[in-house]
Chains A and B, each alone.
Chain A
Amino acid sequence: MAEFTPDQIEDFKEAFGLFDRVGDSQVAYNQVADIMRALGQNPTNKAVNKVLGDPSADDLANKRVNFDGFLPMLKEIEAQPKGTVDDYVEGLRVFDKEGNGTVMGAELRIVLATLGEKMTEAEIEALMSGQEDENGTVHYEAFVKHILSV
């Protein structure tokens, strides 16, 4: 399992506190995925549910966890492979029919809405806005840089 330095743990602890909206030094199960993402991880929702012990919808909304319970979950996620720039570019190349470094925006939108952990129309719109040129194509290397640069 990954090891964090004491400084990193203090950083995480403080960030964790930012998400506590109730004041009991805990966060809801359904916030855990976002906190991990804010702390530099990028797990799938499925992976997070796994470390949470496959909670029910009710659990997700009502159960809470404190920092000491959260940290081992974070470690588990940290140990899982992330994804490099190349992985993303390779992944998008799947949709590059002409092999010229572009994909059709429309196709990408359908993929994101129907495959994997589906995104909502609003999410897709926010992601894609400004990425398609006048022909509706996306130059995906630039696209990947855009997503990774936050």
Chain B
Amino acid sequence: MGCGIGKSELRLKKCDKAIRAALLIQRWYRQYVARLEMRRRCTWNIFQSIEYAGEQDQIKLYNFFRFLMDHFTPASSERNLISHIFRKNEICRDTEWERYFCYKSIEVSASCTGPHLTFPMTFSGVSKLVEAFKHKQQLHARYVLQLLGETWRLLRILPNISHISACHSKPITICGDLHGHLEDLLLIFYKNGLPSCEKPYVFNGDFVDRGKNSLEILLILFGFLLVYPNHVHLNRGNHEDHIVNLRYGFTKEVLGKYRVHGKTVLKLLQKIFSWLPLATVIDSRVLIVHGGISDTTDLDVIARVDRHKYVSALRPPEAHTLNSRSRETGAPAAGRRRVCSLTYQDSPRARMHQLPRRSLHDAPAASQPNWSVEEELKRRRRLAGFDQTYGPLKTPDSVCESESGGTTGKDVDEWKQIVDVLWSDPMPQNGCIPNEVRGGGCYWGPDVTEEVLARHELQLLIRSHECKQDGYEFCHNRRVLTIFSASNYYEVGSNRGAYIRMGPDLVPHIIQYQASRTCRELTLRQSVGWTERSALRALREKLFVHKSDLISAFREFDPDNSGLISLMHWAGATERILNLGLPWRVLRPQLVSSTERGMVDYQQWIRELSITEPKLEISDNSIMETMYKNHSNLETIFRIIDTDNSGLISFQEFCQTWKLLSSHLKTEISDKAIADLARSIDFNKDGSIDINEFMEAFRLVDVSAHTAGPGRGAGAADLLHAGQPGQFGCDLFP
């Protein structure tokens, strides 16, 4: 399409027109792309905030239990419900445990359709296992226990840090979080080949939770580990932790698949998780850990710890709670969020962190044996002046105090090293601050990366722990590489997965992929739209369950009871209640159908959010709301109480659960309300309640959308449903 210069005026005119046409199309195309990117980023923020808020919730719940443990008498029945998760870790009397985990008495019947394994494991045995799982078969409990037993024995002799070398013909493959996504692991094996002497692999933690094939992934990885112990390396992730598993679905998955032996399997896995190595180093130059580092990270210390002492990374040595130091710093969390909010820097939440911490240190130490839960808590709350969080017993700075049973500064230091390595996230700013969003570990900056890498003579840090749109992301001047291997993590089409291949030049080569045919065929716009609708649905559900609190907050800005508030107040109040650090103004067109002269009719908005149809009729609305708001907390408490992992709890345990929850939330739930609730539930003949049935009955069902469509696997902690396109508007901007 040449433009002849000076040939004829008509030709020039046409050429000019062509250029202008081209410019117009190009301008508009670039706007299209920018708007899509904006929507994608918002969607991402929504998913990520909800995810991290859930993790924070879990830690708060755990801290609450610690508080109970430390303050209540041994006779207290509530304390007894949960005390078993704090049981001291016995020094390994391995022979006794081996007897407990013995598989030999378990018969495999002739009718068993799953694969049969022989030991010691061979390559063909594991391949058979992979094929079987591909065809959705299940491994018999006997073989599971046998395989896990062998794994446990092997892990016990492995060091905390694996040192490996990248040889010319055998580049190392490094994978990130898998989270029970078997299809992604199979895709990696398909593209890259199975692990072998010629094909060494490093798996960087978070094999379990959220996805529905966590156990299959573990069995495959352990199988390869047994066959190629020098060529397959596993790092522990923050989800290789039985406390976390209670909430995020792995416990449920195992108990569902193995009704008789599930409890034993879980117990053995507890030990295995604690024995997983903490880090891998390639050629003394590349460090691979699941979460990251902090300014105090010291590989020599990590190499020396008794790693199996830390069955759960959430459980510190005595007398400390997770992030107890964080509440002292008083720094607002707003700047650490994914969204750097320019409009909420003066939010009440930010201010709250600057309040002086009131210490329970001054309260009388001994608790009265005859006081009930409520009385004890009321007393403490009065003394503490209604403190927002349950703080540590002692002044947090007294690291060297050793009150109860042999806690030393060294123990705390070791514990912190482990938590930092499993839970930390990088941040763009310099420095190192507690990771308040997740509730564990740190946020560390580029200066810390430089310092820690230099100190250890390393050149690159590879970590996982955070989902990335493209499956990977460099930061800190390309000195830190995040690798994430679970594609479609938040939703079908939400992100790709990736893995790394690294040769002796130690240059990371990244391969990306996305499981599932359907989403690869979607255009960018379609997949952004799909994911966005799913995120908005999740967000609307969160808004809905908080409607009472939202209305109270809105009313504060509406003294004349006009039913209208300004956009600014709407955004501020919503953030204050939900505390997700989201760009509410940007999201507003998607959430609020109409505004009048810049004012939001909040009553109508709340009515519009009413999307659920409870499966059970309960007269008491507030208990319903508490239930929906605390869906995950409730489930976690149930599973903790269910010590024999039967999936059933008694009526009495049910009532006690509610008491525990209401203490944690500092709300009053009357006995009558609880009894009413219990009466509306189906009891089994022996007077017990099935946990799964109960949780299912109180799952939110969005009746306004069709529910056919890709959804998340079982065990999702959040109330996510994927729906059909077209229900709510497409445009972020009108």
Q: Which residues of A contact B (CB under 8 A)?
A: 5, 7, 10-11, 13-18, 20-25, 33-35, 37-45, 67, 83, 87-88, 90-92, 94-95, 107, 110-112, 114-119, 123, 126-127, 129-130, 147-150
Contacts and interface: CB of A to CB of B under 8 A. Distances in A.
Interface in B559-574: 567-568
Contact of A33 (B30, B38, B568): B30
B25 A88 contact: yes
B591 to A, nearest CB: 13
Given A10-B585, A119-B29, A111 B21 contact: yes
Interface string B583-606: 111101000000000100000000
B590 to A, nearest CB: 13
Q: Tell me the interface secondary structure of chain B in the complex.
A: helix
Contact of B429 (A23, A67, A118, A149): A23
A67 B341 CA distance: 12
B198 interface: no
B341 A91 contact: no
Given A13-B342, A127-B29, 5 more contacts: A5-B598, A11-B586, A22-B429, A150-B36, A150-B731
A14 B1 contact: no
B27 interface: yes
Contacts of A94: 14, 17-18, 21
B614 interface: no
A42 B733 CA distance: 14
A23 B340 contact: yes
B388 interface: no
A116 B19 contact: yes
B714 interface: no
Interface residues of B, number: 50
B557 to A, nearest CB: 15
Contacts of B584: 14
Given A33-B30, A95-B18, A123-B29, A117 B428 contact: no
A11 B598 CA distance: 12
A25 B32 contact: no
Contact of A114 (B1, B24, B598): B1
B29 A15 contact: no
A138 B586 CA distance: 34
Contact of B27 (A11, A83, A111, A129): A83
Contacts of B428: 21-23
A10 B567 contact: yes
A147 B29 contact: yes
B550 to A, nearest CB: 19
A8 B29 CA distance: 24
A37 B24 contact: no
Nearest to B38: A38
B341 to A, nearest CB: 6
Interface string B33-67: 11111100110010000000000000000000000
B1 A148 contact: no
Nearest to A15: B586
A45 B30 CA distance: 10
8 contacts: A18-B340, A22-B428, A23-B428, A25-B342, A44-B23, A116-B19, A126-B524, A130-B523
Contact of A150 (B24, B35, B429): B35
B706 interface: no
B729 to A, nearest CB: 12
Given A14-B585, A15-B38, A44 B26 contact: yes
Given A11-B586, A83-B28, A18 B339 contact: yes
A117 to B, nearest CB: 5
A26 B509 CA distance: 32
Nearest to A82: B27
Contacts of A39: 733
A90 B14 CA distance: 12
Given A13-B343, A14-B343, A7 B26 contact: no
A16 B32 CA distance: 17
A107 B1 contact: yes
A147 B25 contact: yes
A92 B21 contact: yes
A114 to B, nearest CB: 7
A148 B35 CA distance: 11
A17 to B, nearest CB: 4
Nearest to B475: A21
Contact of B24 (A10, A67, A91, A119): A91
A129 B526 CA distance: 13
Contacts of A126: 33, 523-524
A112 B26 contact: yes
Interface string B333-344: 001000111110
B20 interface: yes
Interface in B489-524: 523-524
Contacts of A90: 21
Given A17-B341, A88-B25, A117-B23, A150 B523 contact: no
Contact of B28 (A15, A35, A88, A114): A88
B26 A14 contact: no
B22 interface: yes
B31 interface: yes
B586 A112 contact: no
A25 B25 contact: no
Contacts of A91: 17, 20-21, 24-25
B568 A10 contact: yes
Contacts of A25: 340, 342
Given A10-B585, A114-B1, A38 B37 contact: yes
Contact of A11 (B20, B28, B339, B585): B585
A61 to B, nearest CB: 14
A20 B21 CA distance: 33
Contact of A87 (B24, B335, B525): B24
A83 B714 CA distance: 49
B278 interface: no
A44 B32 CA distance: 13
Contacts of B42: 18
B23 A148 contact: no
B208 interface: no
B427 interface: yes
B31 A37 contact: yes
A86 to B, nearest CB: 11
A88 to B, nearest CB: 6
A115 to B, nearest CB: 4
B71 to A, nearest CB: 39
Contacts of B733: 38-40
B340 to A, nearest CB: 5
A14 to B, nearest CB: 4
A42 B31 contact: yes
A65 to B, nearest CB: 13
Given A11-B586, A17-B583, A22-B429, A42 B21 contact: no
B19 A115 contact: yes
8 tightest A-B CB contacts, nearest first: A91-B21, A37-B34, A116-B22, A38-B38, A115-B22, A42-B31, A116-B23, A37-B31
